[in-house]
């Protein structure tokens, strides 16, 4: 393929466009693409930190649900629904905002999203009523799509032989952000109240917006589609990409199980036999960091062997974690071991799945990510809802039944498709 470089711009020959899939390239595709700065180690680290800080906005609520319930005088079950609302909002944002990463310059889109989520965080911080709080929490989910704009950006910049490692590094940073957010939120709540955490989050997002605007390379889109065609192409991807469909199912069921656990862990730890405060509840996020760090090697491994095999092993490991939690959830050592297994398993599923889908169509990276992550967080929303209801009806046994059931379903799908998944 002939190309020439001009001031960091590579101009591809028209010949490179002839093999584009007809449906996805039904509209005109640009014949020029901005080549960003090389994907250096420093840039990967920055993207991992940005993902960690931004994704944390979705999880500050979990350790403080009991305190929110007391302040607004609502039952724990009703307060627990806030964790479901933020994930529903996130799924909607993934569906309607993330695809724009294929048609809008990504740096500006990321910065706009950061400014928008800052407003939503401020809305939570000043919420005068539970209804206001629920709406603002939902808006946080809707606008907090920054990590899912960053991941396809990094995947598009990485060499195919290094894509798994890059995704693994950023996803490990993301999961560490998820886990540490609970720890930080719990401690800030102890000293400043849960509103203080959201005021701090506003400042962090504004600072992050400034840093990314000055640091990220310009990354022009490869495709020109109007918004309706952009969303319609998601259906085409679902219909024509079996690897995407399977990965989306695995991701949704795995994250649903993990969400059922985390959203109800607060209720377990603040009641008998533990009776912990929100600061100690938040410390359990640190335990999960161990699993996230161990999973960093999964990215490199998925560059060498079939990532589908990694997914199967990770799903089985997560199921074993729920078995341990069911048997020994009332005992601290078993609970700690279960947390590590669940987070290691969920992270491994995520990394191996994303390495599979980003190997499909480079020009549709954001849309592939949209389909996958909408399924992922829809599963999380369902898992949160089922977990809270499982807790309400059967206590901790109900939670472990929900998580174990979702993972069992994923393993059944894995076994039935064992001869179909080649990638």
Q: Would you list the domain boundaries of the chain? A: 39-416
| Helix and strand counts by DSSP (H, E) for the chain | 15, 3
pLDDT, one tens digit per residue, over 35-50 is: 444 578 889 999 999 9
Nearest Cα neighbor of 142 from 161, 117, 169, 172 is: 117
User: Which of the residues in the chain have pLDDT under 70?
Assistant: 1-38, 278, 282, 285, 288, 290-292, 294-296, 361-363, 419-423
The pLDDT of residue 2 is 39
pLDDT, one tens digit per residue, over 15-36 is: 333 334 433 333 333 433 444 4
Q: The whole model's pTM is what?
A: 0.72
Helix or strand holding residue 9 (H, E): strand 9-12
Considering the four listed CATH numbers 3.40.50.720, 1.10.8.50, 3.30.300.30, 1.20.1250.20, the one that applies to the domain covering 39-416 is 1.20.1250.20
Helix or strand holding residue 371 (H, E): helix 365-394
Q: What helix, strand, coil percent values describe the chain, rounded to 5?
A: 80, 5, 20
Pinpoint the alpha helices (H) of 24-105. 41-55, 65-72, 76-96
* Measured CA angle at 397 (ends 396, 400), to 5 deg: 85
Spatial separation of the C-alpha atoms in residues 132 and 123, rounded to whole Å: 8
């Amino acid at each position: 393929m002939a190309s020439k470089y001009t001031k960091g711009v590579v101009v591809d020959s028209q010949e490179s466009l002839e093999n584009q899939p007809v449906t996805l390239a039904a509209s005109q595709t640009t014949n020029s693409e901005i080549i960003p700065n090389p994907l250096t180690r420093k840039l990967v680290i920055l993207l991992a930190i940005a993902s960690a800080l931004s994704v944390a906005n979705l999880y500050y609520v979990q350790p403080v649900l009991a305190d929110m319930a007391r302040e607004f005088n609502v039952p724990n079950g009703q307060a627990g629904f806030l964790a479901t609302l933020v994930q529903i909002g996130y799924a909607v944002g993934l569906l309607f905002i993330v695809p724009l990463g294929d048609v809008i310059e990504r740096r500006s889109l990321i910065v706009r999203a950061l400014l928008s989520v800052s407003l939503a965080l401020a809305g939570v911080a000043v919420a005068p009523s539970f209804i206001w709080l629920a709406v603002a929490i939902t808006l946080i989910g809707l606008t907090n799509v920054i990590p899912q704009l960053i991941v396809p950006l990094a995947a598009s910049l990485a060499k195919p032989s290094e894509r798994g490692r890059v995704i693994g590094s950023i996803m490990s940073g993301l999961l560490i952000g998820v886990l540490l957010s609970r720890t930080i939120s719990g401690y800030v709540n102890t000293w400043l109240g849960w509103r203080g955490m959201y005021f701090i989050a506003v400042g962090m997002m504004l600072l992050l917006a400034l840093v990314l605007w000055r640091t990220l390379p310009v990354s022009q889109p490869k495709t020109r589609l109007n918004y309706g065609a952009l969303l319609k192409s998601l259906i085409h991807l679902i219909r024509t990409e079996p690897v995407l469909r399977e990965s989306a199912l695995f991701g949704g069921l795995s994250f649903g199980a993990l969400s059922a656990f985390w959203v109800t862990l607060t209720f377990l730890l603040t009641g008998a036999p533990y009776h912990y405060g929100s600061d100690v509840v938040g410390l359990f996020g640190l335990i999960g960091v161990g699993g996230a760090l161990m999973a960093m090697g999964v990215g490199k491994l998925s560059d060498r062997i079939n990532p589908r095999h990694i997914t199967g092993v990770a799903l089985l490991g997560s199921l074993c974690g729920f078995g341990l939690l069911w048997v020994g959830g009332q005992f601290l050592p078993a609970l700690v071991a279960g947390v590590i297994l669940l987070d290691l398993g969920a992270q491994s599923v995520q990394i191996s799945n994303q390495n599979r889908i980003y190997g499909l169509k480079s020009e549709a990276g954001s849309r592939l990510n949209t389909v996958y992550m909408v399924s992922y967080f829809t599963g999380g929303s369902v898992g949160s809802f089922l977990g809270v209801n499982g807790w309400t009806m059967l206590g901790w046994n109900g939670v472990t039944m929900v998580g174990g059931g979702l993972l069992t379903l994923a393993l059944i799908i894995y076994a039935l498709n064992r001869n179909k998944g080649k990638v």
